[in-house]
Amino acid sequence: MLYKIAKNSAFLQNLAVNIATSIHPSIVHNFGKIEMIKKAIWNCELEEVSGGYFEFGIYEGTSLYAAVKAHKKINSKISRNFYGFDSFDDGFKYFDKRDIHPFFKEGDFISSYEKVKKRFSKFPNVKLIKGYFEETVANGKGADIHGKDKCAILFIDCDLMNPATVALEYAKPLLQAGTIIIIDDYYAYKGDENLGTYGAFHKFLHNHPNIKAREFSDYGYGGKSFIVMKV
């Protein structure tokens, strides 16, 4: 009935279009991101994939908060740590000139470490690691951060190729069958297969052919995830 009315009404169609287009794309994407994280947490629960949630690029901590909450709400029998890596007060930095991008600009995406720390003060299983990945976890550094934890979920949300590469190399020994790898901004840099988070992931799989992953789920505007089948 409603369909029939809407079918013949330019007014109703315009109204629907106006509502849909007035929601900012970043809001739609971020809702998709939250749903993606929820899905990954749930899959790791069903499949009994132990280990921590590792997020590279947490900004103000919203998606990290979503992970903590999604885990809490399902009364999981698995105890998990949640690791959040970010430069916080320093924002983006180009360690590689190929990372230059009109939206991901040096010095942008600054967040207050103190504020984010306060946001998670009630959660002892949340560990924040402040600093550029190139300084905190590159070249074999960072083993003291995760201790014996394996990785259940790896979320790469740092937009640029260089830090994404560093994050993937750090996480490599922590990957296991069932790890969900979430990659944000998968189609950035005009789709260039050598740049951005896609470039980093593509090269990572090429350099480590023993790691086999297959597509798990798409989300939001250009987010993608994979499930590790074999390491």
Ligand X SMILES: C[S@@+](CC[C@H](N)C(=O)[O-])C[C@H]1O[C@@H](n2cnc3c(N)ncnc32)[C@H](O)[C@@H]1O
Interaction site with ligand X (CB under 6 A):
33, 57-59, 62-63, 86-87, 91-93, 109, 111, 132-134, 157-160, 163
With CA atoms as reference, report the closest residue to 136 among 207, 79, 57, 45: 57
Q: How far is the CB of 11 from ligand X (least distance, A)?
A: 37
Q: How far is the CB of 137 from ligand X (least distance, A)?
A: 9
Q: How far is the CB of 163 from ligand X (least distance, A)?
A: 3
Closer to ligand X by Cβ: residue 131 or 150: 131
Closer to ligand X by Cβ: residue 203 or 212: 203
Q: How far is the CB of 39 from ligand X (least distance, A)?
A: 15
* Residue 185 near residue 32, CB atoms below 8 Å: no
Residue least distant from ligand X (Cβ):
57
Return d(Cα 181, Cα 55) in angstroms, integer.
10
Closer to ligand X by Cβ: residue 92 or 216: 92
Closer to ligand X by Cβ: residue 75 or 144: 144
Closer to ligand X by Cβ: residue 49 or 161: 161
Q: Cα angle at 79 between 155 and 136, to 5 degrees? A: 45
With CA atoms as reference, report the closest residue to 51 among 25, 71, 75: 71
Q: How far is the CB of 169 from ligand X (least distance, A)?
A: 13
Strand partners, 128: 84
Closer to ligand X by Cβ: residue 91 or 222: 91
Q: How far is the CB of 205 from ligand X (least distance, A)?
A: 21
